[in-house]
């Protein structure tokens, strides 16, 4: 029997940057990503006739997520969840994995995470997804908790 997740994903975005107000703890996200255009020279050795070998473009991304305790019974204790964030290309291939920890102290119901990713791996034009999975104490990943998707267009010059 599969163990129930201790965290519930409440929502999130992919953006280039964000800022947290020190007094109010309010979060502002800047340059929210729904489409990325990448110009590649056709003489680039990574470009083939059909697609592109996996490369990393110089783009900074932030994956901002809001998490909540999954059960009311966990209210009386600190909980820490482990999440893996995957970048998936249009063919379904996982191009990168980034682990994050989510800490919900005793007195908090919700918590947000901000994952900074330096460099975006790309392989072809199409819809890319940032997918979140919870990792249990045995290291087994859950089914996806969420997917945040955006389009990436490769323009060959």
Residue 118 sits at the vertex; the CA angle it makes with 115 and 120, to the nearest 5 degrees, is 100
108 in a domain, yes or no? yes
83 in a domain, yes or no? yes
- Kind and range of the H or E run holding 123: none
pLDDT tens digits, one per residue of 121-157: 898 899 999 999 988 878 888 889 899 999 999 887 7
Which string of DSSP letters, residue by residue, matches 127-148?
A: EEEEEEEEE-TTS-B-S-SEEE
Please give the mean pLDDT across all residues of the chain.
Answer: 86
| Host domain of residue 83 | 7-156
- 35-40 and 27-32 beta bridge pairing: unpaired
1 in a domain, yes or no? no
145 in a domain, yes or no? yes
Q: Is residue 120 within 8 Å of residue 97, measured between CB atoms?
A: no
Task: Give the CA radius of gyration of the chain.
Answer: 18
2 in a domain, yes or no? no
Residues 6+ apart with CB under 8 A from 116: 60, 61, 62
Identify the residue with better confidence: 114 or 2.
Answer: 114
CATH number at residue 65: 2.60.40.10
Looking at residue 3, its pLDDT comes to 57
Percent of the chain topping pLDDT 90: 49
Looking at residue 45, its pLDDT comes to 56
pLDDT tens digits, one per residue of 6-41: 788 999 999 999 999 999 989 999 999 999 998 887
SS3 call for 107: coil
Question: Is residue 5's pLDDT more than 50?
Answer: yes
21 in a domain, yes or no? yes
Answering whether pTM is above 0.85, one says no
Looking at residue 86, its pLDDT comes to 96
C-alpha–C-alpha distance, residues 157 and 142, integer Å: 41
How confident is residue 1, by pLDDT bands cut at 50, 70 and 90?
very low
Residues 6+ apart with CB under 8 A from 80: 101, 102, 103, 104
Question: Is residue 94's pLDDT more than 90?
Answer: yes
12 in a domain, yes or no? yes
Question: Is residue 46's pLDDT more than 60?
Answer: no
Identify the residue with better confidence: 13 or 78.
Answer: 13
87 in a domain, yes or no? yes
Domain count of the chain? 1
């Amino acid at each position: 029997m599969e163990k129930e997740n201790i965290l519930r994903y409440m929502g999130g975005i992919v953006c280039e940057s964000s800022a947290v107000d020190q007094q109010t703890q309010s979060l502002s996200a800047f340059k929210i990503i729904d489409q990325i255009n990448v110009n590649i020279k056709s003489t680039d050795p990574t470009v083939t006739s059909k697609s592109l070998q996996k490369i990393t473009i110089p783009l900074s991304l932030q994956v901002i997520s809001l998490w909540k305790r999954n059960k009311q019974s966990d209210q009386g204790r600190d909980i820490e969840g482990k999440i893996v964030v995957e970048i998936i290309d249009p063919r379904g291939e996982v191009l990168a994995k980034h682990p994050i920890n989510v800490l919900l102290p005793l007195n908090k119901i919700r918590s947000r995470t901000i994952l900074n990713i330096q460099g975006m791996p790309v392989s072809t034009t199409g819809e890319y997804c940032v997918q979140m999975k919870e990792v249990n104490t045995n290291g087994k990943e859950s089914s996806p908790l969420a997917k945040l998707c955006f389009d990436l267009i490769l323009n060959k010059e």
